[in-house]
Amino acid sequence: MRLLLALALLAFTSLAQAQLPQPPEIAARQYLLIDLNSQQVLAERDADAQAEPASLTKLMTAYLVFNALRDKKLALDQKLPVSARAWAQRKGGGSLMFIDTTMTPTVNELLHGMIVQSGNDASIALAEGVSGTVENFVAAMNRQAQAWGLKNTQFRNVEGLTEAGHFTSARDVATVALRIIEDHPNFYPIYSVRQYTYNNIKQDNRNMLLGRDPSIDGMKTGFTDAAGYCLVASAVRDIPGGKRRLLSVVLGTASKEARASESQKLLNWGWQAWDAVRLFEAGKAIATVPVWKGDKPEAKLGAPGALFVTVPKGEGDKLKTLVERTDPLLAPLSAGQRVGTIKVTTAAGTAVSSVPLVVQEPVGLAGIFGRAWDSIRLWIK
């Protein structure tokens, strides 16, 4: 499933508050629930407040490792040395894969150790394997955060231990999680692995929801004394015309059980109180309009991808769609070029979604006589 990217991945659409389902009481300092198909925020509390990420930090660590694999700077079967710095994570009191300096685990083994077992030592080994030093890797993490426009995130380490100046927010965490799902679908299934054994030490995935709800297929837990118990959870279900994915982030709960139960409560409410409606298929023209000075008389316009909206249960048949576009439309036009906006509202006028209106197929320039004739017609018009 290709997730819809609207104006920017960071710009999740916030729904107007009138006549919308109210979320259940969630026992967490911050939380966020997003329908990833529509990019709509269904519920939130202090989602932009700075918070300690704990091992949710490893989402960004993993993203950069996935990039390195994609770019062939690493290979899954490549063996990496275990430095004294990685081994020294045993003294920090956090989660471990239990590697030592006599071992040369593969990148694939280290990824499972970091994601499934939440190993701080595996995180260090991977960071050094990608960037040479942890410091270089942390700098790359911060550059990526800046490139995405994450205003409430700053990294000081790769594993998530408490450190001055190391912070994020629920919304920023959701953005990193979404980018993993969207940009690295081949690696995302690692987040659903429920157990992993390395060096004869078997450890369970800390995400307790993987064993409770078959729709949950990832992502990541975190805990420090300062951060509390945190969980990013992603769930997917079949709907008419495709699949629907919800993503929840809860930060600062009181226990392992609480982070699981509060996340489950939030996700269940998302399924039960809201409907996902597919208004348009990917690549399908919403409108065919005249083009001036083009080698074609008309242009096909539509959404950047399949257009989903999320509405309160039972409200899907009451939606209104308004297309605002540039007029006159002048060639040349490239595929994907934005020429307007598609706005979706309820019958009462409450804004539901707004996405770009783009050109579906390119339109080149007409010949000199065609352009001259259209110039005259435009002047008369």
Indicate if 285 and 204 belong to the same structural domain.
Answer: no
- Indicate whether 93 belongs to any domain: yes
- Nearest CA-CA partner of 90 in 98, 82, 78: 98
Q: What count of other Cβ atoms lies within 10 Å of the Cβ of residue 186?
A: 10
- Indicate whether 35 belongs to any domain: yes
Percent of the chain with pLDDT over 90: 63
At 332 the three-state DSSP class reads coil
C-beta of residue 336 within 8 angstroms of C-beta of residue 302: no
Indicate if 245 and 338 belong to the same structural domain.
Answer: no
Active-site annotation holder among 118, 248, 263, 353: 118
Indicate if 172 and 189 belong to the same structural domain.
Answer: yes
Please give the structure tokens belonging to residue 90: 């045993």
Q: Tell which of 276, 293, 308 closes a domain.
A: 276
Active site residue 72: no
Indicate if 98 and 211 belong to the same structural domain.
Answer: yes
Q: What count of other Cβ atoms lies within 10 Å of the Cβ of residue 305?
A: 18
- Indicate whether 4 belongs to any domain: no
Q: Tell which of 249, 276, 303 closes a domain.
A: 276
- Nearest CA-CA partner of 319 in 274, 358, 282, 350: 350
CATH number at residue 359: 2.60.410.10
Per residue in 111-165, pLDDT tens? 999 999 999 999 999 999 999 999 999 999 999 999 999 999 999 999 999 999 9
- Indicate whether 119 belongs to any domain: yes
What sign does the dihedral 232-237-242-244 (CA atoms) show?
A: negative
Instruction: Return the percent helix, strand and coil in the chain, to nearest 5.
Output: 30, 30, 40
Active site residue 91: no
- Indicate whether 6 belongs to any domain: no
Tell whether the model's pLDDT for residue 166 goes beyond 50. yes
Residues in the chain: 381
Per residue in 173-201, pLDDT tens? 999 999 999 999 999 999 999 999 999 99
- Indicate whether 21 belongs to any domain: yes
CATH number at residue 214: 3.40.710.10
Residues in contact with 372: Cβ distance below 8 Å, sequence separation at least 6, in sequence order: none
Indicate if 218 and 324 belong to the same structural domain.
Answer: no
- Nearest CA-CA partner of 52 in 225, 187, 198, 195: 225
Indicate if 349 and 227 belong to the same structural domain.
Answer: no
- Nearest CA-CA partner of 120 in 223, 190, 49, 218: 223
Active-site annotation holder among 58, 220, 265, 293: 58
Q: How high is the pLDDT of residue 8?
A: 31
Q: How high is the pLDDT of residue 282?
A: 78
Tell whether the model's pLDDT for residue 219 goes beyond 70. yes
- Nearest CA-CA partner of 218 in 206, 234, 200: 234
Indicate if 200 and 291 belong to the same structural domain.
Answer: no
**Domain of 260, in residue numbers:** 13-276
Backbone angles phi and psi of 143, in degrees to 5: -65, -40
Indicate if 357 and 232 belong to the same structural domain.
Answer: no
Distance of alpha carbon 150 from alpha carbon 176, whole angstroms: 9
Mean pLDDT, the chain, whole residue set: 89
Indicate if 195 and 66 belong to the same structural domain.
Answer: yes
- Indicate whether 137 belongs to any domain: yes
Place of tokens 């970091």: 114
- Nearest CA-CA partner of 62 in 213, 191, 238, 167: 191
Query: Which of 51-60, 265-274, 350-359 shows the lowest mean pLDDT across its residues?
Result: 350-359
Tell whether the model's pLDDT for residue 254 goes beyond 80. yes
Backbone angles phi and psi of 258, in degrees to 5: -65, -40
Q: How high is the pLDDT of residue 13?
A: 57
Tell whether the model's pLDDT for residue 279 goes beyond 90. no
Active site residue 58: yes
Indicate if 155 and 265 belong to the same structural domain.
Answer: yes
- Indicate whether 7 belongs to any domain: no
Bridge partners, 318 (sequence order): none
C-beta of residue 377 within 8 angstroms of C-beta of residue 371: no
Q: How high is the pLDDT of residue 63?
A: 98
Query: Which of 20-29, 44-53, 251-260, 326-335 shows the lowest mean pLDDT across its residues?
Result: 326-335
Q: Record the pTM.
A: 0.86
Active-site annotation holder among 38, 55, 123, 234: 55
Domains held by the chain: number: 2
Per residue in 330-354, pLDDT tens? 878 888 889 889 888 877 777 777 8
DSSP 135: H
Element (H, E) at 182: helix 170-183
Indicate if 63 and 171 belong to the same structural domain.
Answer: yes
Q: Tell which of 276, 291, 315 closes a domain.
A: 276
Indicate if 91 and 208 belong to the same structural domain.
Answer: yes
